[in-house]
Structure 1
Amino acid sequence: MPGSSSLRAWWAQRPPAAGAAVLATGILSVGLHLAGYETLSRVALALAGAAWVALGADFVVRLVRERERWLAEAGTPAGLTAVAATTVLGTRVSALGWQSLAWASLALSAVLWPVLLTGVARQVVRHLAGHRGRRMPGDVFLCCVATQGLAVLGATLAKAEAMTWPAYTALALFWLGLVLYVLMLALFDWRQVTEGAGDQWIAGGALAVSAFAGARLIAADRGELYLWNADDRGALRAMTVALLVLSLCWYAVLLAAEVFRPRLRYDVRRWATVFPMGVTAAAMLSVAAAVRIPGLKGPGEVLLWVAVAAWLAVAVAALAMVRRSVTASGFPGSPGSTRSVRSRGPR
């Protein structure tokens, strides 16, 4: 059908940044679960899972049929949303008791992570060599997000399966993610705070997911496992709380920048705004339980509903954009189509 052809044409032009939609929806599912809204959480999980399957199939098709394009896209920071989204979904399905699927998510993410991270490192080097003095947009922080996503999933599985090695591996990834954050912060274009199209929010979201990883590492130390001594536990607790505070500072600055200089036009990178909002809420709820600061739960739920509202707004804008794109591509009967059926005159 012509309409289907137009939709396929639009899908073929989809940028790698579209993967942030899966990431944003998945973290909302995690946050809703932590807040006790299980039905809504499962609805969000179903949406994220369906989108992940569609994007995953497209990922494989491009690898096989359009290898040059795949390599070009895989070398961008946005390509790391594949790793981050997979780890987030793995974390959520682990909470459902589907540990085999969570392990599969961890394995797939662990295979993709070094490949995509290496490609991003090469692009960063080329960027610095070819654009001296020119900084990079917010999606560069996905290097940290993907790494911390692995830490979150590893710590989650360590607690669920009462195994030590995933926790120790997750701890190493946690510290590596913080190192990557500092390196990417040096490359970040600070003008993006007021000029970015949405992905500038990842600068704060990367710290929030780091706090989330710290909370999961603290939680893994309870129950059947004894992972950290008193000094290690104290350092991990202090770092986790500090990361949460810094992420909230970023949240306030970025929100103020949005109010001061509104950017209301839809951009696919707006999904990269929803994810940091959602993961900040999830981090607050997780830290509240892990560090035993119950006062964080209320603000965490408020931020969660703010993230849900942002998700709905971006989803509506995205659907409107898809409709306009398909209509503009033209097929019989569509408004503005160059192939619309012309009037045949009086009968």
Structure 2
Amino acid sequence: MSILPGRGWWAGLPPAAGAAVMAAGIISVGLHMTGYEVVSLIALGVAGALWLVLAADFTARLLGDRGRFRAEADTPAALTAVAATTVVGTRLSLLGWQTTAVVLLAVAAAIWPGLLYNVVRHWRWRMPGAAFLGCVATQGLAVLAAVLAAACRQDWLAWAALAAFCLGLVLYVAALLRFDLREVVGGAGDHWVAGGALSISALAGSKLTASSVWTGSAHSTLRTVTLVVLALSLVWYVVLLTAELRHPRLRYDIRRWATVFPLGMTATACLSVAEPAGIAWLRPLGEFLLLSAVVAWLLTFAALVASHVTAHRATRRAARRPPGPGTMDR
């Protein structure tokens, strides 16, 4: 499905398109953390523009096409609406736009319970990587709440972030029990969320660890949990990358944006954990992984353009093809 401009192009976007916003948003955050502010703002502009388009489509379906809205709200990909909103909100908070970030947190928190409930009650066994989006959306709330707690000096937001962080870990375990491991070698792209969900959990943990709200044993526990979660996300990274190299999946699929997001999220988690955890080597690792994520982002966009051009040419050839025998009689 294309996400390039065209007549009515936005009307056919599936919920999975939200992963494109998540990918651009988290890469913007990572670039900001490494000092590439201009490129970071460009990525933020891409994420913001896509978010506005998808928000308009989400609202239009809610108000004008309730049947389609209900059908899509039951799928795990619907939770990209929450995750994308929190990622954009996090970057805007880092930019100093706290009021806008608070509004986005409120929007994400408002739609999160209903979507999560619909998705979880339709869970089944042997699910694709999209099953982990319940964890991703919940941890997205934790990250944005923790960032705003520090920026606005609101301790209650830190406690809310901690609650979301713990719930997100529970949702991860529940999704892992239902994840079809065959997706590792045959998934279309969203299988990477199995690792990306842990990366965003580690990012949330790093923001909580950096907070002055937690001291003593509470701080030590948060640091330990964050490091364990980050280590597990890096293990997933190695496993998934190895599977990709042994079983290449080069054809473009919209779910490939759900590959780029975990790549960027793992890089950003390493960058974020390095300072509060006191582990210096995580920063150069994060910088290297961020470069890989940016390359993957550009390659995925190029594949998107190529698939769009190929489909457009095929349509034009079909339109020019002369009618077959007997066509006029029908």
TM-score using structure 2 length: 0.93
Given candidates 148, 172, 182, the residue that maps to 2:139 is 148
Q: What residue is the counterpart of 1:131 in the other structure?
A: none
Q: What residue is the counterpart of 2:127 in the other structure?
A: 136
**AA aligned opposite 1:146:** A
**AA aligned opposite 1:17:** A
Q: Is the 8 A contact 2:169 2:201 kept in 1?
A: yes
Q: How many Å apart are 1:65 and its aligned residue?
A: 1.8
Q: What root-mean-square deviation, in Å, do the aligned CA atoms of Structure 1 and Structure 2 show?
A: 1.6
Q: Which one is further off, 206-215 or 115-124?
A: 115-124
Alignment partner of 1:182 is 2:173: yes
Q: How many Å apart are 1:340 and its aligned residue?
A: 7.9
Q: Distance in 2 between matches of 1:91 and 1:144?
A: 17
Q: How many Å apart are 1:36 and its aligned residue?
A: 1.1
**AA aligned opposite 2:309:** R
Alignment partner of 1:295 is 2:286: no
**AA aligned opposite 1:141:** F
3-state SS of paired residue (1:197): coil
Q: How many Å apart are 1:304 and its aligned residue?
A: 0.1
Q: How many Å apart are 1:13 and its aligned residue?
A: 2.6
Cα gap change, 1:254/1:29 in structure 2, threshold over 3 Å: closer, same or farther?
A: same
Q: How many Å apart are 1:7 and its aligned residue?
A: 2.8
Q: How many Å apart are 1:325 and its aligned residue?
A: 3.2
Q: What residue is the counterpart of 1:338 in the other structure?
A: 319
Q: How does 1:65-214 map to 2 (within 5 A)?
A: 65-124=64-123, 128=124, 134-214=125-205
Q: What residue is the counterpart of 1:275 in the other structure?
A: 261
Q: Which one is further off, 279-288 or 34-43?
A: 34-43
Deviations for 1:40-72, whole angstroms, at most 9, x for unmatched residues? Answer: 110000010001001111111111221100111
**AA aligned opposite 2:121:** R
**AA aligned opposite 2:319:** T
Deviations for 1:274-320, whole angstroms, at most 9, x for unmatched residues? Answer: 00000000000000122121111111100000000000000011112
Deviations for 1:104-134, whole angstroms, at most 9, x for unmatched residues? Answer: 010000001001101101211xxx4xxxxx4
3-state SS of paired residue (1:7): coil
Alignment partner of 1:246 is 2:240: no
Q: How many Å apart are 1:89 and its aligned residue?
A: 0.6
Q: What residue is the counterpart of 1:25 in the other structure?
A: 24
Given candidates 304, 311, 314, the residue that maps to 1:318 is 304
Q: How many Å apart are 1:327 and its aligned residue?
A: 4.0
Cα gap change, 1:43/1:140 in structure 2, threshold over 3 Å: closer, same or farther?
A: same
Q: Distance in 1 between matches of 2:272 and 2:30?
A: 9
**AA aligned opposite 1:196:** G
Q: Distance in 1 between matches of 2:253 and 2:13?
A: 12
Q: Distance in 2 between matches of 1:188 and 1:121?
A: 13
Given candidates 218, 222, 232, the residue that maps to 1:236 is 222
Gaps of 5+ in 2: 324-330
**Number of residue pairs aligned between Structure 1 and Structure 2:** 319
Q: Distance in 2 between matches of 1:23 and 1:157?
A: 19
Q: Distance in 2 between matches of 1:54 and 1:322?
A: 19
